[in-house]
Structure 1
Amino acid sequence: MDIRAQVSMVFHLDKCIGCHTCSIACKNIWTDRQGTEYMWWNNVETKPGTGYPTQWEDQEKYKGGWERDSRGRLKLKLQGRAGALTNIFYNPSLPTLDDYYEPWTYDYKNLFDAPEGDDQPTARAVSLVTGDFMDTLEAGPNWDDDMGGSEVYAANDPNILKSLSESEQQSLKNLEQTVFFYLPRICNHCLNPGCVAACPTGAIYKRGEDGIVLISQNRCRAWRMCVSGCPYKKTYFNWSTGKSEKCILCYPRLESGQPPACFHSCVGRIRYIGMVLYDADGIEQAARSPDDGLVDAQRALIKDPYDPEVIAGAKRNGIGDAVVTAAQNSPVYKFVKRWGLALPLHPEFRTMPMLFYVPPLLPVIAAIRDGQYETTAGMETAPADETGPNLNTVDKARIPMQYMASLFTAGNVDKIKHVYHKLVAVRMYMRSEQVGDQKEEDVQEALRRADLTPEQCISIFELTSLPTFEERFVVPPMERERAMDGELPPLDPYSRKAAGGFGFRDAPARRF
């Protein structure tokens, strides 16, 4: 057992209001330079929708992440060594600027300084790449915002196309079935990152003390394989500097004890950050699991920070007591491991992402059939104006469970249903305690089905609705000084052989 420490995150989607404050906070700090105009390291998408860049989830097009071969071995979906050499000067799977958008500004000078005349002066759009005037604006970072159910965006969502039948797709287009929710995305800082494995020069690496994935601007040679190798498309190419860049999880802030800017500025307080301890020896085996077992395999990698054997393993690898204590107090461990509520986004990409999501309950409730709401208790129906508190959220969902399973459980419908049963049970129990409008037998049945106790419901409610700043952001000392002095293990979090991705290449020499 090789115990390592990893900064991990949870986003609670029921609390996201789609305000994009996180995006602007990130943009103001990190991407205000030439060549970074389209680099939305922190973007908020509307689901169902095509996302940013367009249809990034379609790995038949972009070839990101990992896949199992016929013998169950793990390999990059993009290419192997021979493919890297063949395509080193041409990458057919690379997203184009049109898949993002051509960034622009406006000719404000003409608007403000135009001479007096009969016509109203205008500020035409000007490309920030070429400097030429643009006749039409066709896309942007949140172009499909609030467009759930639309023919243009939601209808082309890869998850809808691959997981729903034609009749289910048509039902979502009915006005009363139209539904959307917000999906904020940043770099997942994966345990088995495809970008690291795809880079021919070894410019991308994981920091040993916290697992943050970074790109060395000195070693980057602009091959851009990392852009294709990342299935989440969170690595971007700076056309001005000729280097790749990505989210660095605001590690200078973390090293000073502050959460990342997007976490700090989040209006809905949906973001949680903390340390987890995991077994690096189990990464490859977990990533090779069948699709329906990927969520459980990834959860199994995260170890109990109170286990004496795990603590001893952490200390053998130079992980200090303060980091272990932070892992014990981590909100991420509670949501992911203890309660089983938070799920990885597209685990079938097999990168073992360290950003987890609590699925949204709101888009699923209030299913309507023949003008009536369908309720949970007994699955009976009630007129829309007489709806009780037990709105159905699982068995007769407003949005099919197959869609949510495609997003968060690699298609395992039973797994996503169990998470929703937990969310429903917490809501029913707290309503019974605070409002008193729930039948006791319904509450007990919900708790039994969700495998929850009343004490767990209260804990989940408190961390979801009433957390303090210190409870949401458990930022330990990153021990960067010890790492710089060579007191911690080498910066690659696995073995030397596996640091660049399993079976692809050796890890680069350690550089600070």
Structure 2
Amino acid sequence: MNVRAQLVMVFNLDKCIGCHACSISCKNIWTDRKGAEYMWWNNVETKPGVGYPRKWEDQETFKGGWLRDGSRLKLRALGKGPTLLNMFFQPNMPKLDDYYEPFDFDYSNLYKAPPGSDQPVAEAFSQISGKRMEEITGGPNWDDDLSGSQTYAASDVNLEDRSIVEDYGRMFMQYLPRICNHCLNPACVASCPSRALYKRGEDGVVLVDQEVCKGWRFCTSACPYKKVYFNWQSGKAEKCIFCFPRVESGQCNACAHSCVGRIRHVGVLLYDADRVEEALLRADDELVAAQRSVILNPRDPRVREAARANGVSEQWLTAAEKSPVYALVKEFGVALPLHPEFRTMPMAWYIPSLSPVISSGRDLHELADHGTFPLMETMRAPISYLANLLAGGNREIIAEILRKLIALRLYKRADTLGQTLETSILHNAGLDRASADRLYRLFTIAPYGERFLIPAQQREEQDPQQRKGTAGFGILKKTRGAR
């Protein structure tokens, strides 16, 4: 058992209000310099929609992530031959138009313009060329709140029934906040010819060594989530760093700290690195269960002993034992990885959204005799859509989580109104009153110290080989050695 520790973030999609406070806080701290104007390490997308960069989920176009090749994994677009041929050109990388040409406005013209009969305006200019832009055709969150638009929603690769966008009564919308997933099997790390990207041994954060990076951009092509960016000014790759200067001192990430909806939880997971490859070789609809099986119980004495042998401190073991992330991902099983079929084993997890609560109507859910929820099969956000987004197409896992979330709401509604609720409703969803109360607390009233449980690090006490050596363990070692 090769036990490793990983910092993980969980997002509750039912609570995201799309305010973009997370994106702005990240932007102000990390990407406010020349060459990084178009970088949004944290962004919030409207779903259904094309996302940022446009259609990043379409791996037939961008060819990111991994594929099963018999009994092993291989990068979808790379190998010895393609690596050499594409050393100076990346045919599958998003173009600037897939993001947007970064722009600003000439506000100085408002007070420097000569006297005239017209009101002066602040004209747009390109932050790359400095030239005036006659027309702006894209920008960050360009399709924000346009899930009903046939231009954007109909192009969402997760949407099986595209007739939904033509029927206003069936249209739905949810927000999807995204950061780098700091995957257990990161394609960006495996694809880098110069080995500039690496996964830290003490917390699993994936970083870019700017001194080593040669700007080949294989990482951008290989990342299926397109969360590695190219700085056109410095010629280096840049990405989300999980706010490691903050988390090393026990503070939570800037995006999580600023979240108005309190949708995020940050904590520690322990996992068995030796089982990562085996789990990733499963079929698409089995990947969620396989990924959960890699996550270990931090209260198991054998797991703790193996973790200590790998240099995991007692402080981190304690944090893993109390981790809100472990409770949501493993104990309650209500959180899911984003597009597990990309086979990078992402470490950002999402709690699926529920339909809007209704007061009356037809086809009410069989569990909701008070007229609170529609039938699961007729929810505004189709199970098929959520399954394609979060479960590799496995609808049963989505339905299981939705039943749990519905039962929790019914229980708390009855408790608040002084009504009685059949215990079978909780039991059939895999809950009892104690676990329902605990889950409700995590979702709603848990204070800062319970939502963010991040142990401080003493990096000077870490083995230098461990700090930068995990790009070579497990599956990454085999894959990179084969290249």
Query: Structures share a fold, TM > 0.5?
Result: yes
What does residue 448 of structure 1 align with? Answer: 427
When normalised by structure 2's length, the TM-score is: 0.96
Pick closer, same or farther for the CA change 1:95–1:21 going to 2, 3 Å: same
Pick closer, same or farther for the CA change 1:417–1:324 going to 2, 3 Å: same
What does residue 413 of structure 2 align with? Answer: 431
Paired letter, 2:91: P
In structure 2, how many angstroms separate the alpha carbons of the residues matched to 1:464 and 1:494? Answer: 34
1:465 counterpart = 2:444: yes
Give the Å deviation of 1:326.
Answer: 0.4
Pick closer, same or farther for the CA change 1:289–1:497 going to 2, 3 Å: closer
Contact 2:198 2:471 (8 Å CA) reproduced: no
Contact 1:366 1:398 (8 Å CA) reproduced: no
In structure 2, how many angstroms separate the alpha carbons of the residues matched to 1:159 and 1:72? Answer: 28
What does residue 385 of structure 1 align with? Answer: none
Trace 1:120-269 onto structure 2 (pairs within 5 A): 120-160=119-159, 164=160, 168-269=161-262
Paired letter, 2:224: P
User: Which ranges of structure 1 fall in alignment gaps of 5 or more residues?
Assistant: 381-387, 508-512
Question: Tell me, what secondary structure is at the counterpart of 2:271?
Answer: strand
Pick closer, same or farther for the CA change 1:266–1:432 going to 2, 3 Å: same
1:74 counterpart = 2:56: no
Trace 1:90-109 onto structure 2 (pairs within 5 A): 90-109=89-108
Give the Å deviation of 1:171.
Answer: 3.3
What does residue 393 of structure 2 align with? Answer: 411
What does residue 383 of structure 1 align with? Answer: none
In structure 1, how many angstroms separate the alpha carbons of the residues matched to 2:76 and 2:284? Answer: 15
Paired letter, 1:416: I
Trace 1:22-33 onto structure 2 (pairs within 5 A): 22-33=22-33
Question: Tell me, what secondary structure is at the counterpart of 1:78?
Answer: coil
Give the Å deviation of 1:136.
Answer: 1.0
Give the Å deviation of 1:61.
Answer: 0.5
Contact 1:181 1:360 (8 Å CA) reproduced: yes
Give the Å deviation of 1:178.
Answer: 2.1
Give the Å deviation of 1:495.
Answer: 4.9
User: Which piece of structure 1 moves more, 272-281 or 390-399?
Assistant: 390-399
What does residue 470 of structure 2 align with? Answer: 493
What does residue 8 of structure 1 align with? Answer: 8
Pick closer, same or farther for the CA change 1:288–1:266 going to 2, 3 Å: same
In structure 1, how many angstroms separate the alpha carbons of the residues matched to 2:191 and 2:277? Answer: 16
Give the Å deviation of 1:112.
Answer: 1.8
Question: Tell me, what secondary structure is at the counterpart of 1:458?
Answer: helix
1:18 counterpart = 2:18: yes
Question: Tell me, what secondary structure is at the counterpart of 2:480?
Answer: coil
Contact 2:387 2:393 (8 Å CA) reproduced: yes
Paired letter, 1:461: Y
Paired letter, 1:267: V
1:270 counterpart = 2:263: yes
User: Which ranges of structure 2 fall in alignment gaps of 5 or more residues?
Assistant: none
Count the aligned residue pairs: 483
Per-residue deviation, residues 141-192 of structure 1 (Å, max 9, x unmatched): 10111111211111111111xxx2xxx3213432222210111000000000
What does residue 384 of structure 1 align with? Answer: none
Question: Tell me, what secondary structure is at the counterpart of 1:15?
Answer: coil
Paired letter, 1:8: V
Question: Tell me, what secondary structure is at the counterpart of 1:144?
Answer: coil
Paired letter, 1:127: S
Per-residue deviation, residues 284-333 of structure 1 (Å, max 9, x unmatched): 11111111110011111110000000000001111110000000011100
Paired letter, 1:156: S
- 437, 460, 468: which one pairs with 1:481? 460
In structure 2, how many angstroms separate the alpha carbons of the residues matched to 1:154 and 1:139? Answer: 16
